[in-house]
Structure 1
């Protein structure tokens, strides 16, 4: 019975996509066809759009995405850190100089910083960022933050590239459990002038 259900689900996903079980409430875990997977990582599909971290010609990682409905007749490729298919070009999900993690991301102004801690009450492993972090995947802190200290106002989101549930903070947070975000944060960015960058 299970094999028949999986076979039926594979047919529903359509040609050119490999079936994988979907996590309830999460992004679709499908891998559209193309050689982008040779130089991209962390790929996932959400609301008909493919997201991935792709290496450009200089070896830097860029966050990028592309609408899948434009790619039905084409294979998806990585073109210098940007997802493309046929004549269609995707979009960068970060700004130039950004990247998948670490201190990359959008430029800071010296007035904003955030220190993240693995454990509540500002304990455990910690790291300080002065810039936006569009994807915590390569920092060792993705879905592993329990408390934070701020200089300035910051936005924290449960998904990479400032998607999912987002919450703005200006005061230090001793325990993210209270906010429903303990071990759930995947991207962070400073907020300027009461609005996002």
Structure 2
């Protein structure tokens, strides 16, 4: 009986290890510069010499929360398995923790985030995933965070999202190809931010985007 219990404990440990989260953080965009691979929570990235230095990440396992302040405080974003060439809050991450565990992603950069048990993930992303397999649009805009709610495909510059019924309604974005500039005002004016290929579960300019154009 003791041997059986010991064997079960070993198997449980191996299973737990097999699905432990794994994230690699990079100092520069497009997975360049100094890097660190995390397999456990980091309450303060100063301990790793990476405070306010992260520009891109690769997540192989698990869903991770990235926060602007130490001890998982301040503004945070949740990212699932995939490649994120440029973060929406570049060089402003101070703590990281794993919030759910799971297997590896299904492909580079465009993995579906299987977080149904947390109440979000598949709602809008399934549409984006199907488009990707068929060679779909360069950009998909979603009304709600985590790729949920009504969505809009974008394959060319949009000088005014009012024309599409999507002005000041964008909360999350999927970019399949190119670097895109999103601006708070029509005709690419006001405050603007540039995002590269990746999945952005909640953009910093939430519900404030009025125009978008490809810049590269």
Which category describes the TM-score, using the shorter chain as reference length?
0.3 to 0.5
Greater RCO structure (CA 8 Å; 6+ sep):
2
Q: Could you tell me the TM-score, scaled by structure 1's length?
A: 0.41
